[in-house]
Chain A
């Protein structure tokens, strides 16, 4: 049951030969393009699509709930989930699988990566569930039937799922970041930092000057939270407003149009006056 032909056709469609190039074939732009975090799609050109609703499959609801309960019980934070399911999986799977298919692979992955199950256990269980599933078209899937109930005390859990109770998140980080470096009305430039592995600072705002419109809250930066670094210091986040004409050239709307997004302090630099895009 070889899928070699189909797998070959599912290669990332970069429309360029890519087959283990030598180092001299990778310039800065190509390096950035390969390392771009696959979730960051804002501003990519696309043609109009069909917008529709979708009735939820039972497995999709179960998957969503499993992922949220894993967060509730301190197995991960949602930012670890987002990093694995939206970036670690790579662009082909990111665009190629259904939305909740990616959630599901990520729940499976975290069980293995955090040593709650071995990969062998997972594979054997998938095979076992498949064998007890009815084979005929239109049959209902089997019920989930855990054989034992595990000991919750034996499980390694994060600090966050207890620390945030009664406060909420980001409120659980309040008072930990010191004095905010920027205030409402300040002009800031989004830093043009390199991107490796994860960020929530979009490519389309990097290098652009905007105005702080709200000092939002204190929190761990996504670059820390996504890797379970709750040993790191929280920082201030800011809601920053940009003029569309500064973000896009040319901008096909009206000159007064704007865009707002939220950024952690590490991504912002002070500016006075200048409003041009950094190279």
Chain B
């Protein structure tokens, strides 16, 4: 879990420092910096995989050891922050990403500096203090037997174990290639295969079906998979005697079913990222989505980063969630994104006693509040 992050010079994030929780929501207008924040996490994930910086930023084709890696939007050309008032002046600026991570019981600090032609990373074990200074790492960190090398590898493993949820409806509606899967793909690959795995455990199956039953007004009797010619599975729901295969289910039902399944993965990623969580889901059911994210990211669940434009999602947050619900806006002069937790917006907590947080967001109150 990333407990703290500092981003400097990346896209619209000139300098952002955030303390994070298990569920982190990013709200704000279009182009306010929400997606750029998630892309910064993607950069860390790519570095965690051990890709070269050019590959991380611009993409990488499928290889014998890795799947296709999509670069960040705009690639390396638009990766660095450039102030509106001084366009081009900072094109050579370095990008710095610093994180504090909790891996198991230990805490580590991990920093990456990205230059035009490469990266330099530093890892520190915060508790064991095995590193006297960051300078030591550049030498000791190269030796596989050294504790420093192991810390470095541990941190990189944790960062790479990140999953972006960007489901494609056609993929969710298709047969899975595998008959059983421990994890769903970022585009929804192996959705039905993961469901096959969930259905094998009665307790998980009941819980999964229960989420779906809350979503739909129909009398949902069961969740199942239909076998194809070669036994490959297709997701389906049962309503009475009717079997409803994935191709005829609504986008919203299917998307919710897949997002829910992501929290039932046997091979659970450390971090799940979801953009615009409300997409395709009826406003009256967004309460359920908020509950899903809050309950399943708690305890031993994955850390979640999600963006939203929905005032309804905000209306279902509690005051205790405000510390890790971040409002994003752009500074008019520099174009830099300013990201602040709701708990630090003056007067907000007082105002929401009498007015819905969603209304304040819709009115644009937060834009001018800090």
Whether A associates with B in a native complex is: no
Binding site for A on B (CB under 8 A): none
Binding site for B on A (CB under 8 A): none
